[in-house]
Amino acid sequence: MDRYYMKLAIRRGEKSRGKCSPNPFVGAVIVSNGKIIAEGNTQAYGGDHAEIVALKAAGEASRGATLYVSLEPCCHYGKTPPCTDAIINAGIKRVVAGILDPNPLVAGKGIAALRAAGIEADYGFFEDEIKRQLEYYLCFMNNKRPFVIWKMALSLDGKYAASDGSSRWITNPASRRQVHRLRAEVEVVLAGIRSVSKDDAMLNVRGLRNVKQPLRVILDPLLEIDPACALVRSAKEYPAMIMYHSADRDKIQSLEALGMKLKQVSGKRDELDLAEVMQTLWDMKLYSVLLETGNRLSEAFWKAKLVDKCVIFYGNQILGGDKSALKAYDRKNIDRALQLSGITVRKLQDNAMIMGYPIW
């Protein structure tokens, strides 16, 4: 039955997707005498972890019970006390964890603390599934940078726009709703100044309830953004930040007065150092980024090998012309084509969404 209860814990964790960063979204289930007596999932940052939610719901019934949790319980003080202490004090007899937590403050120490207290503690259940579920958090911990999703909307023949540059709408409303769901689950929506200026883009989440708005990050090397654009006008309502390398002090101050955050990073001419951009976001404890970029910035991320996942929406159209995605990211020969793993395909009415992971 261990696998069955762990599956429930994984499913419970999904309730916190996009709502508890920088903590990972985790699920927990407490079982006593073959019956589920409590469940829990990670609360908003600073709130209870999944184990604590479940333990509070179970109360005294947790004594002698088994706790199933998708990620190893923490054993250090952060915004909240260690979960291992609460598990020990609650009288839990056995703990089953899905995977170990790569956080250096935990990394097996949670399991060790439970065992030292006389609790039977196991781990290693549905590891592949949980690693996929927590891919943002694991990349943040293991690679010391945010997980990057490259999103693109294309015609069936791979064009991002018509020859005259028009692109609304390549995809249908169902695809666009899915984009907003993606925005709702990441910490950062990132775009270049050209895309923002061309579309007067807002880049916030719309049409969904009870979601955490992402930080909208604009890469604007020379700080060319128009203070009258929709993104700046909405900065006091939806968080937004511009990264730049050179700018006039007066414009910096005027944008800050409108509610924009600004961060200077290294760069030259009309480019920024993407490694420093990623480091800045990592330092801010932001572990997932959705690229809402035009071709040039997309190509820069691909060339820097900073793409972890692709989400491509195909509209039901043939456009022809020369507006091909990643035109300058030329692999030259079919033998050098970049392959994707873990491909999934989802139909969105007459559109299709394809997801996969670049094999670097």
Catalytic residues: 51
Q: Identity (one letter) of the amino acid at 331?
A: R
Q: Identity (one letter) of the amino acid at 95?
A: V
Q: Which residue has the tokens 């069936």?
A: 156
Q: Does residue 204 contact residue 179 with C-beta atoms inside 8 Å?
A: no
* C-alpha to C-alpha distance for 22 and 37, rounded to whole angstroms: 28
SS3 57: helix
The radius of gyration of the chain from alpha carbons, rounded to an integer in Å, stands at 23
* C-alpha to C-alpha distance for 263 and 284, rounded to whole angstroms: 12
Helix axes 50-58, 83-90, angle to 10 degrees: 20
* C-alpha to C-alpha distance for 110 and 29, rounded to whole angstroms: 17
Q: Does residue 123 contact residue 97 with C-beta atoms inside 8 Å?
A: yes
* Angle, alpha carbons 184-187-193 (nearest 5°): 95
Cross-strand pairs, 289: 148, 188
Helix axes 2-13, 50-58, angle to 10 degrees: 110
How many other C-beta atoms lie within 10 A of the C-beta of residue 179? 20
